[in-house]
Structure 1
Amino acid sequence: MMFWYGHDPSGWGWFGMSVGMILFWAALIAFGVLLFRALSRSFDARATPSDSPPRPAPEQLLAERFARGEIDEEEYHRRLTVLRGAGGTRLDKS
């Protein structure tokens, strides 16, 4: 005669196994997600060498100074001519 009655898990045993299986799969999925995010972040960091925006062109900076009223129209045109190199003379302040 075999005594199987005392060897199967009770209600709490099934509950414990179910919770254990859910925690196992949750930990496995969380590890996979974290690994994927870490690897994709390292590839993104290599793709973008710097986070600084590109510097504006000198003509754009000059136009912004003129728009803010830091220089007048005559000064703007004179400096723009020098920047473009169209017959402007440059004074060296050494």
Structure 2
Amino acid sequence: MLDTIKTALISAGLTLVSFQSQAAATSDQFGHWHYGWGWGHMFFGLLMMILFWGGIIFAIVYAIRATHSGSGHRHPSDKTSLDILNERFARGEIDQQEFEEKKKLISR
């Protein structure tokens, strides 16, 4: 019983596909079959594919830039001498007197 239903559904589906393709196909005066909409829609499809992949690439680049720029992190080589001095004082490597002396020298 189940095999009969499967066979009926498959044959109905194939029949619908056959009718659809015959309805879309036309014949010219030489007997050549032409399907669908011609060359114009091929270029439209190319344009849509370019827009699709361009959008995907744009989204990826935008996501990367949004996560990395504007985060406020600077490269370690971008530190100023005052930044390094503040870090050394915060870590306790130098005392307040030495910090003030070096800060005056840097500020000149």
TM-score, normalization by structure 1:
0.46
- Higher helix residue share: 2
Greater RCO structure (CA 8 Å; 6+ sep): 1
TM-score, normalization by structure 2:
0.41
- Higher strand residue share: 2
